[in-house]
Amino acid sequence: MLGFIESSHELLHKRGYRLTPQRYLIIYVLEEAQGHLSIEEIVECVQQRNPCVSQSTVYRTLELLREVGLVRENHFLGEAATYEAVDGNAHEHLVCRGCHTVLHFDPALPANLREQLEQQYAYRALKLDLVAVGYCDACWKSSSAT
Amino acid sequence: MLGFIESSHELLHKRGYRLTPQRYLIIYVLEEAQGHLSIEEIVECVQQRNPCVSQSTVYRTLELLREVGLVRENHFLGEAATYEAVDGNAHEHLVCRGCHTVLHFDPALPANLREQLEQQYAYRALKLDLVAVGYCDACWKSSSAT
DNA sequence: GTTCGTGCAAATACTTTGCAAGTCG
DNA sequence: CGACTTGCAAAGTATTTGCACGAAC
């Protein structure tokens, strides 16, 4: 399996887009963060490495990457959007209401759910996007201590 | 089990908030729509019944209702936020990439997933928020016909 | 009477766009 | 050369806020 950056290059190319230095940088930042970055954070990280990259480029690139499916946009707890690199099919998130930590959980757990849904509702090419919101152990304890 | 409007009243009251005519109207509209409304649509529906209700009140009320958990905010396919009344625990959505229809599917399907997650990751009070994105039968056929 | 909620208008924040210049194949 | 990208600044949207008035407890 190719790395995220290589497969991005390939996919963009296949669709007639170029992997420009700006796009590379944005992809690189997303890949490196391995997590959920807000637009603001992305702009910050990118400009830290190359201050000439403009905000509009970040917006345009994220839209492009989302379009081709390389990047996923999340809205947890009603907060501002965050972005993350899409590696495979697994997008399972555990979000803590207390500390706002986002954990990626084992994609095997909901594995058969997809098949059930496809069969039962006659939907095709389903991608699951599962967010479980609750309290992690630490936050649960500290909140009940209050 | 109480209706949505009654339980809203109760919950707001318990938290020291009032169920004003404006709030009532917004809750009513959400309840009636039984679906996913954008802010714009909500404002429209509300003002249709009472033109004096201002946009800021709609914003403020949705934020309040979201805060107390009566309303859920969704972001499907990276589009603008939509809002829906929260009845129980079930928030399972099937979204079609083609026609953008949103279907609520059988909440029994992922039932044991929640328990698995709580046990395996030591999270408490988990609420699942499951979005499955794909193509409905009709859109799948028309897209493969192209 | 005191707290909560609202409408209005203004302010702020966020995102998109037009365009001229630059880059790449 | 022609298609694709970018930076900049301006335009456009969306959302939030301050404040004075009114309503509810």
Q: Beta strand pairing status for B82-85 and B37-38?
A: antiparallel
Q: Give the model's pLDDT for residue A80.
A: 84
pLDDT band at A1 (very low <50, low <70, confident <90, very high): low
Distance A20 CA to C24 C1' (A): 9
Least confident stretch, A34-43, A49-58, A106-115 = A106-115
The kind and range of the H/E element at B37 are strand B37-38
Please report which confidence band the pLDDT of residue A89 belongs to, taking 50, 70 and 90 as the band edges: low
pLDDT score for B89: 57
Q: List strand C contacts in B 2-31 (CB < 7 A).
A: 16-18, 20-23
The residue among B104 and A90 whose pLDDT is bigger is B104
- As a whole number, mean pLDDT of residues A98-105 equals 87
| pLDDT confidence band for B91 (50 / 70 / 90) | confident
pLDDT value for B35: 81
Out of B106, B117, B136, closest to residue A132 by CB:
B117
Q: Measured between CA atoms, how close is A9 to chain B, in angstroms?
A: 23
Per CB distance under 8 Å, which residues of B are interface residues toward A?
A: 66, 73, 75, 78, 81, 94, 96, 103, 105-106, 109-110, 113-114, 116-118, 120-137, 140
CB atoms within 10 A of CB A138: 13
pLDDT at A77: 81
d(CA A104, CA B9): 37
Task: Find the nucleotide nearest A54 (Cα to C1′).
Answer: D7
Q: Which residues contact A41 (CB under 8 A, 6 or more apart)?
A: A33
Q: How far is B140 from chain A (nearest CA, A)?
A: 7
Q: Higher pLDDT residue, B77 or A29?
A: A29
A·B CB contacts under 8 A: 109
In the predicted model, is pLDDT for residue B1 greater than 70?
Answer: no
Between A112 and A123, the more confident residue is: A123
Pairwise CA distance, residues A112 & B49, whole Å: 46
pLDDT at B20 over 60: yes
Interatomic CA–C1' length for residue B83 and nucleotide D13, angstroms: 19
Q: Is the pLDDT of residue A3 over 90?
A: no
DSSP secondary structure code for residue B84 in this structure:
E
The pLDDT of residue B105 is 87
